[in-house]
């Protein structure tokens, strides 16, 4: 079984978030050995559909992971709709271009994470 990850960023008109999403995807792939493709909800490319189509060529299990902090319209409605996941569900089966079935699961947004609190405290960078 071949696994793959879609790392979904929002995207921005300035393109500044693109580098962060791409580098995070690279780090995730390096750490896990799982092919990780960055994609974007809007403004940047590849789109979610483009990245999903690319990953579906090689993976039979795909996890779609939003790099967004909190539940909201994008995480609850927009992204699942673009992935073809029925409302209120966290997984579905999609067909690859050659007709094989692929299990697609959708992760929760980041939410409250102790590691994130540590990172933000570090970023506060109080002078000594």
Q: How far apart are CA 62 and CA 100, in angstroms?
A: 13
Omega before 46 cis (within 30°)? yes
Instruction: Output the CA torsion sign for 79, 82, 87, 91.
Output: negative
Q: How many CB atoms lie within 10 A of CB 59?
A: 23
81 is catalytic: no
The residue from 10, 18, 61, 91 that is catalytic is 10
The greatest distance separating any two alpha carbons of the chain, rounded to the nearest whole angstrom, comes to 61
Q: How far apart are CA 64 and CA 2, in angstroms?
A: 15
Active-site residue numbers? 10
């Amino acid at each position: 079984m071949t696994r793959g990850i879609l790392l979904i960023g929002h995207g921005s008109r300035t393109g500044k978030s693109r580098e962060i999403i791409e580098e995070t995807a690279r780090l995730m792939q390096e750490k896990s050995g799982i092919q990780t493709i960055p994609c974007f909800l809007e403004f940047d490319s590849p789109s979610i559909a483009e990245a999903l189509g690319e990953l579906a060529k090689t993976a039979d299990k795909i996890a779609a992971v939003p790099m967004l902090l909190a539940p909201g319209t994008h995480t609850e409605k927009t992204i699942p709709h673009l992935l073809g996941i029925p409302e209120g569900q966290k997984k579905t089966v999609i067909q690859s271009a050659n007709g094989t079935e692929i299990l697609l699961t959708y992760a929760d947004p980041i939410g409250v994470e102790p590691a994130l609190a540590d990172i933000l405290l570090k970023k506060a960078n109080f002078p000594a």
